[in-house]
Amino acid sequence: METKRVLKPKPMGWRRAIRRYLGVNPIRSGIQAAFLMLILWIGVEFHDFLEFHRHASPEDVLAGDGPMRPPGVEGFLPISGLIGLKDWIIRGALNDVHPAAVVLLLLFVALSWMLRKSFCSWICPVGALSEYLWKLGRFLFGRTLSPWRWLDISLRSLKYLLMFFFLYAVLWSMDGASIRSFIESPYNRVADVKMYDFFARISAFAAKALLVLALLSVLIKNFWCRYLCPYGALLGLFSRLSPTAIRRDPASCIECGKCAVACPSGLPVDCSVVVRSAECTGCLDCITVCPVTPALQVRTSSLGQTHSIPAFAAAVVLVFLLGVGLARITGHWQNSVTAEEYRYRLKEIDSPLYTHPGGRVAHGASE
């Protein structure tokens, strides 16, 4: 009678032992922190840009040495990016109002197709903060809460409903003329400013809603990402088509179940041969905690290639840098809204003209 071959765990060094104990991939944690610092830097730069042009004197304007607007702020304008993408498909030309929003949307979709939903677990600042919060909850209370399976499935459907709402509103409900009208509207031309003001001058209701989401994220792993994020839902659909996936070798697996416990998405990794769920974010925490090296691997089937954690991390960063670099080289990164137009519109930013969806079409700063 055949007996199952069991590979004994290899002795671990102290670094690997600490990593296993904490259940953390230090490479991913470092990249997450780096992108979070980048986002904070972009936020500070955009704040300085707006403050300068809100209060610039004629002498300051003539000197022309004010802060530059960071195009990366358009990463927080996914709806404008989706609208710009449809406009690009219709006209064959990328709009110059928020080109970086379209570039980043396409970049993160491509990243999700190539390397799972790695944007969510390696790059997204909201994903990083959500992870910090549930780990804080685990530290404070010793555990996080897991909703009943029927409730978990029901709640997960919410983000797909939100996703389909936005896709329907943009891809089906808006024709070419409506798309162009929105892109050139006063509201969209300063959508980055409106987004900034939403948080800088946050209402009591919005602040309470964010506080509730933060508290729920302390108690339940990745509450926002798992149940409510329509962006993550969209990326998850593309990640389902990815040739890259976590693969388990049943012959090497010792069935310890550590991978399933470590998975922040609650996936049954220990019972799967290939993990293709749209909920898999490619965080590789399951591989990090696996005590048997060949039992769990991340593999790209089309290339027949198995990737180490450092190689996967390098690929995520490289795809991001190449995408942004290509956009900069081809002139699809900086927008065409001039500093003069920003100064003009900042003076009347609270007028009804800048209430969504923006009212009449803007033709320039002199409007």
Where in the chain are the domains?
25-242+316-348
Q: Which residue has the higher pLDDT, 22 or 107?
A: 107
Contacts 24+ apart (CB under 8 A), 357-361: 357/182, 357/185, 357/187, 358/182, 358/185, 358/186, 358/187, 358/188, 359/185, 359/186, 359/187, 360/185, 360/186, 361/180, 361/181, 361/184, 361/185
- At 12 the pLDDT is 52
- What band does 363 get if pLDDT is binned at 50, 70 and 90? very low
- What pLDDT shows up at residue 357? 66
**pLDDT averaged over the chain?**
90
Residue 24 pLDDT exceeds 80: no
139 close to 234: Cβ distance less than 8 angstroms: no
Q: Which residue has the higher pLDDT, 49 or 22?
A: 49
Q: For the stretch 217-249, what's the b/e string if a residue is b when 16 or more beta carbons lie within 10 angstroms of its beta carbon?
A: bbbbbbbbbbbbbbbbbbbbebbbebebbbbbe
Please tell me the predicted confidence (pLDDT) of residue 302.
77
Residue 21, pLDDT > 80, answer no
List CB contacts of 201: < 8 A, sequence separation 6 or more. Answer: none
Provide the 8-state DSSP code for 295: T
The two three-digit tokens of residue 336, written as one number:
């065409």
Provide the token pair at 254: 């010792």
pLDDT at residue 200 above 50? yes
Q: How confident is the model at residue 14 (pLDDT cuts 50, 70, 90)?
A: low
Question: Residue 137 has what pLDDT?
Answer: 94
Four-residue CA torsion sign, 195, 193, 356, 346: positive
The tens digit of pLDDT for each residue in 85-139 reads 999 999 999 999 999 999 999 999 999 999 999 999 999 999 999 999 999 999 9
pLDDT at 305: 86
Here the tokens at position 34 are 């780096």
Tokens representing 36 are: 């979070």
- H or E segment at 296? strand 296-300
Question: Is the pLDDT confidence value at 23 over 60?
Answer: no
Q: What's residue 15's pLDDT?
A: 60
Question: Could you tell me the pLDDT band of residue 347, with boundaries at 50, 70 and 90?
Answer: very high
Mean pLDDT throughout 32-49? 97
Which region among 110-114, 206-210, 291-295 has the lowest average model confidence (pLDDT)?
A: 291-295
> Identity (one letter) of the amino acid at 209?
A
pLDDT digits (tens, 9 = 90+) for 44-88: 999 999 999 998 777 666 666 789 999 999 999 999 999 999 999
- pLDDT tier at 293, thresholds 50, 70, 90: confident
If one compares 17 and 311, the residue with the highest pLDDT of the two is 311
Burial of 107 (0-12, 13-18, 19+ CB in 10 A): buried
Three-class secondary structure of residue 147 per DSSP: coil
pTM above 0.75, yes or no: yes
Looking at residue 262, its amino acid is A
pLDDT at res. 356: 77
The two tokens of residue 352 are 């009804």
Q: What is the pLDDT of residues 216-238, one digit of tens each?
A: 999 999 999 999 999 999 999 99
pLDDT value of position 192: 98
What would the mean pLDDT of 138-150 be, rounded to a whole number?
93
